[in-house]
Every structure is written in C-alpha cells, then in structure tokens.
Amino acid sequence: MNANQPSVDQSNRVVPINLRQSGPTPVEMLIDTRVRKSPYWHLSMEAGCWRASIYNRMYHPRGYVRPEDGGAMVEYDALVNHVTLWNVAVERQIQVKGPDAEAYVNFVITRDATKIPVMRARYVILCNEAGGILNDPVLLRVADDEFWFSISDSDLEFWLQGVNVGRRFDVDIKEIDVAPVQIQGPKSVDLMVDLFGDVVAQLPPYGLMTGQVAGHDVVVSQTGFSGEKGYEIYLYDASLHAEDMWNAILAAGEKHQLSVIAPAHHRRIAAGILSWGQDMDQETLPFQVNLAYQVPRQKTADYIGKAALEAVREQLEVGQQPYTHQLVGMIMGGAPINDYAPDFWLISTTSDGEASGYVTSPWYSPEIGQNIAMGYVPVEHSAIGTELWVHLPEQYADMPGSPVAAEVVEMPFRESVNPNQREILRTKGMDAAI
C-alpha cells in the first residue's frame, strides 16, 4: 500500500486523517525557535515533566510520572481522588475587544453570543462556510465589549483577523499575555477557597470571577477538560508573574495532596469531551460528533457556516444521510491501554472484514474495567449495541494479528461532576442529536 493512501475510504474528504503517515516516529525532534515555551514551561520541568507534544505551536507537557513509576494512571488517580495542577498555557487567549465585540463574536460562533452575560463563559464552536469545525474554545465574556477565545489546537487568531479584513466590525483582535492553569479534582474547591475565599465555592459552571493570586490579577472560571470538579485560573501579564502564581498554588495545595499532572485525556475520554485535531477537524460537521446542540434553531442572526449547517440538518430530518461516518463511544477488549495512542487504529464491522472506521481516542477505564474509546464508524453501524472489531497493536491485542471485540455504547462513559451541555440536555429529555 502507498504510504500516503488511507486505510479507510475517505474519498469524501480533502485531507483524510487516518493516513499511514501517523504512528510512532523514532527520531530525535529538533528544538528550535519555531515552537514557543509558555510562561509555565520551566516550572513544569521543575515539577518533573519528562515528555511533551506540540499544541498551538507551543511545547505542551504530556507526562510527569514516568512509566516505571506507574505512568499516566498514577496521574489519573491523583485527579479523581485528590486535586491536580495543569499547565494549559497552550490554550492561547485571543482577545476580541471594541464596540462591535458582541456582533463580531456572534458572527463567528454558531451559538448566540447575545445571550452570554458578562462574567460568564461558554463552550462554543466556530465553523467554516462548509460547516466544518475550525476550533472549539471556551469563550469568556469578561466585559460588555470584551471576549476571550481560550482556543484549542488550531491557529484561530489569524482566521479571526482574516474574517475582519476591511474592519467590517469595529473591534481589535489579538493574542494577549494571559495564560491559564487548570485546578482539577474533587478537592479543587477546597484549594480554590484557600486561594480566593468562600465566594469561589458559589461560582456556577462556566461562571467567572476576578481575584488575585500572590498579589497578581486573575480571572477564574469554573471550567476544565476533565469532567471532574474543576477551575481555570487565567493570569494577567503571565510572562511576568508565572512563577509567583504557580508557587503560590503549590504552597496552598500541599495540605490537599496537590499533584502537577498532564491534561488528563483518560478522564476527558470517560467524560466524552472532544479533542480538536483528534476527534474532529475542519472537515467534521457538528452533527457527526454529537455537537448538534451547538447549532441552535432559534439563532436568527447570520453566522459563518449557517447556511451549510441548516441544509445538513434539513437533510437529516427527512431521512437523508449527508455524511458517511459518525463519532461513537465504544467499550472494547484487549490489554489495558495505558498511554496515548500514536496512531488511528482501525475498526471493522466484522472480525475478518475490511477496515471501515478508526479509533480517535482510546484509554483504559478503571471504573468500567475495560478499554473505552471514541471513534468513527459508518453511520449504518453507529447504533447503540452494535458489535465492532478493533485492530489494536500487538502490545494491547488479545492475540497478535486478530482484532478485539467492541460494542457501541452511550457517552459519557462516566458521569461528569461538571456535566457539559449535551449531558444536561439528555437529563432533561431534550433532543441533542438534531
């Protein structure tokens, strides 16, 4: 097979994502000035960071506990039982500020920005004109005329500036020297109360407040990437004050068994939280990844991608199928997957059939006692209870060369302490699919 030929037919895509170009890369990666260090990078190194990836053209800590000491599952235990500190400065903050800030933001996101109160945040998506997801940031409204896009792994700043070429909207768009950390875990509220007082315990999900750590101004949100109780602390002038804040958090966290860990992808998978570039990209429609609730029927204002998304929804409502693959949750056999997958492992609908789908995010769930995963399968094989077969690498396979059995199940795999909007809609009995 040609090295660039995808294993699964994706002729409907411009850039297939499960190319054989993915997989382990046993070379020494060059360190140069094209990749940026965050204000917290040296502090992560002091905390024991031993590996990193690249996210938004920045070094991103991806491991503190080495495999011989228990690896990522030790970090998982700290998250679900105690409290953890994450360096997430790679969530670059893109500020939109000016008289037309609300109108501009309303034009680039699918949700209704006019309904976001000051000092509230929302999980949002931005789409291109074809309806493909460009980014899925947390959007903070810190003032009537000021929003921050806390972005996922795509360079949104240039796109946002490009949309406003010619100054159609009276706003300034730029990255600002604000860098977040996350405080996640069941003891996070206790640690945050020690830092900010009792008022922080009253902060609702996606609520914002201002405060200070070590005498430096911050914005606090009750948000996170874990499904556990958690917060993010956005530090102003982070390049100047990173050490002061980081060390103050470490000191306050000692009595709460605070651990510095990497962003917990094992827990976010259990919560059904998506990762841009892994579970979706610019050619993925919201309907394919269970984000239909991000495309509200009642938003009358125009926004980028609206025509395409409404056309897709109309097709779905009359029984037409505008796309070939759907993201689903799966439980599957095999040895416990205890680290990041370096490849998009293939999925078949029969044990000896050709691959027709691929895994995007797998990990082992201690609570379920099985491997869990998200992945794309043909729409006709996406119903709950459908049997699938996953082709795992040798170290995880039950028998080398043979796929393991899998089953489509509902997400999230584990109840979230901070439920996302899709989970909330489900508990209310509302339709989040279309």
CA dist., res. 76 & res. 334, Å (int):
20
208-230 pLDDT tens trace: 999 999 999 999 999 999 999 99
| Phi and psi at residue 57, to the nearest 5° | 60, 35
Average the pLDDT over 1-20 and give the result.
81
Whole-number pLDDT of residue 419: 61
Beta bridge partner(s), residue 399: none
> Could you tell me if residue 182 is inside a domain?
yes
| pLDDT of 276 over the 70 cut | yes
Average the pLDDT over 58-83 and give the result.
96
Amino acid occupying residue 22? S
> Could you tell me if residue 417 is inside a domain?
yes
Place of tokens 């097979």: 1
| pLDDT of 420 over the 70 cut | no
The whole domain housing 336 covers 323-427
Instruction: Give the pLDDT band (50/70/90) at residue 291.
Output: very high
Whole-number pLDDT of residue 29: 83
pTM > 0.85: yes or no: yes
Q: Look up residue 430 and give its two tokens.
A: 């509302």
| pLDDT of 325 over the 50 cut | yes
Share of the chain above pLDDT 90, in %: 87
| pLDDT of 432 over the 60 cut | no
Nearest to 181 by CA among 234, 223, 247, 138: 234
Query: Does one domain contain both 335 and 422?
Result: yes
- Is residue 103 packed enough to be buried (19+ CB in 10 Å), middle (13-18) or exposed (0-12)? middle
> Could you tell me if residue 299 is inside a domain?
no
- Is residue 28 packed enough to be buried (19+ CB in 10 Å), middle (13-18) or exposed (0-12)? exposed
Average the pLDDT over 326-350 and give the result.
96
Instruction: Give the pLDDT band (50/70/90) at residue 427.
Output: low
36-66 pLDDT tens trace: 999 999 999 999 999 999 999 999 999 999 9
CA dist., res. 157 & res. 137, Å (int):
12
Domain end marker among 202, 221, 256: 256
Q: Is the preceding peptide bond at 412 cis, omega within 30 degrees of 0?
A: yes
Whole-number pLDDT of residue 190: 98
Query: Does one domain contain both 331 and 249?
Result: no
CA dist., res. 293 & res. 299, Å (int):
12
Average the pLDDT over 164-184 and give the result.
96
Amino acid occupying residue 113? A
Instruction: Give the pLDDT band (50/70/90) at residue 26.
Output: confident
Whole-number pLDDT of residue 421: 54
Residue 345 CA to its chain's centroid (Å): 20
Whole-number pLDDT of residue 431: 46
Whole-number pLDDT of residue 401: 87
Domain end marker among 256, 280, 298: 256
Average the pLDDT over 328-350 and give the result.
96
CA dist., res. 53 & res. 18, Å (int):
19
> Could you tell me if residue 233 is inside a domain?
yes
CATH at 229: 3.30.1360.120
> Could you tell me if residue 393 is inside a domain?
yes
- CB atoms < 10 A from the CB of 172, how many? 13
Average the pLDDT over 73-99 and give the result.
97
Instruction: Give the pLDDT band (50/70/90) at residue 85.
Output: very high
- Is residue 54 packed enough to be buried (19+ CB in 10 Å), middle (13-18) or exposed (0-12)? middle
Whole-number pLDDT of residue 434: 41
> Could you tell me if residue 157 is inside a domain?
no
Cβ neighbors of 115 (< 8 A, separation 6 or more) are none
Domain end marker among 215, 231, 256: 256
> Could you tell me if residue 305 is inside a domain?
no
Query: Does one domain contain both 342 and 418?
Result: yes
Query: Does one domain contain both 252 and 330?
Result: no
Query: Does one domain contain both 252 and 331?
Result: no
Domain total in the chain:
2
Whole-number pLDDT of residue 415: 78
CATH at 341: 2.40.30.110
> Could you tell me if residue 434 is inside a domain?
no
CA atoms within 13 A on the CB side of 266: 27
Amino acid occupying residue 184? Q
Whole-number pLDDT of residue 142: 98
- Please write down the HEC assignment for all residues of the chain: CCCCCCCCCCCCCCCCCCCCCCCCCCCCCCCCCCCECCCCHHHHHHCCCCEEEEECCEEEEEECCCHHHCCHHHHHHHHHHCEEEEECCCCCEEEEECCCHHHHHHHHCCCCHHHCCCCEEEECCEECCCCCEEECCEEEEEECCEEEEECCCCCHHHHHHHHCCCCCCCCEEEECCEEEEEEECCCHHHHHHHHHCHHHHHCCCCEEEEEEECCEEEEEECCCCCCCCEEEEEEECHHHHHHHHHHHHHHHHHHHCEEECCCCHHHHHHCCCCCECCCECCCCCHHHHCCHHHCCCCCCCCCCCHHHHHHHHHHHHCCCCCCCEEEEEEEECCCCCCCCCCCCCEEECCCCCCEEEEEEEEEEECCCCEEEEEEEEEHHHCCCCCEEEEECCCCCCCCCCCCEEEEEECCCCCCCCCCCHHHHHHHCCCCCCC
101-127 pLDDT tens trace: 999 999 999 999 999 999 999 999 999
Average the pLDDT over 257-264 and give the result.
97
| Phi and psi at residue 265, to the nearest 5° | -65, -30
**Which range has the worst mean pLDDT, 129-133, 294-298, 426-430?**
426-430
Nearest to 144 by CA among 207, 104, 97: 97
The pairing of beta strand 51-55 with beta strand 216-221:
unpaired
